[in-house]
Amino acid sequence: MTVKYTKEHEWIRIDGDTATVGISNYAQEQLGEIVFVELPEAGQRLDKGSQAAVIESVKAAREIYAPASGEVTEPNAGLDAEPGKVNADATGEGWLLKMKITDAGELDGLMNEDEYKGYVEGLG
């Protein structure tokens, strides 16, 4: 299983041709208390860089972008009732959607965990 990160603070965990997408701990900390998550429907096609979801916090609303192209196989329905799971466990139970990726080559430009940590430290 491989995890990659975008400069917009999304993560994508790849397991074969299936991927799970969410936001990083850094992103959820910047947003503050998350009160609503708008997710795509299963079957929706996403292009890399297109809007995949919207997260609203008490501070702001933020668009979440698809780190790769593919088809949504499962939105995290548990976030409807408990959007705070994103704050509590951004890289675990707070995942946003699962998708079947169509072009694994699109992942090549993304950062690995160490590169992402360095990127975030440079933002400080």
Q: How confident is the model at residue 16 (pLDDT cuts 50, 70, 90)?
A: confident
Q: What is the mean pLDDT of residues 96-121?
A: 96
2-103 fold:
OB fold (Dihydrolipoamide Acetyltransferase, E2P) (2.40.50)
Q: Please give the model's pTM, rounded to 2 decimal places.
A: 0.96
Going from N- to C-terminal start, the domains of the chain cover 2-103
Residue 109 CA to residue 111 CA, distance in Å, equals 7
SS3 13: strand
The structure tokens listed for 35 are 């009160």
Smallest CA-to-CA distance from 24 within 74, 86, 97 is with 86
Q: Does an H or E element contain 9, and which?
A: none
Q: How confident is the model at residue 122 (pLDDT cuts 50, 70, 90)?
A: very high
Average pLDDT of the residues of the chain: 96
Neighbours of 101 (CB within 10 A): 23
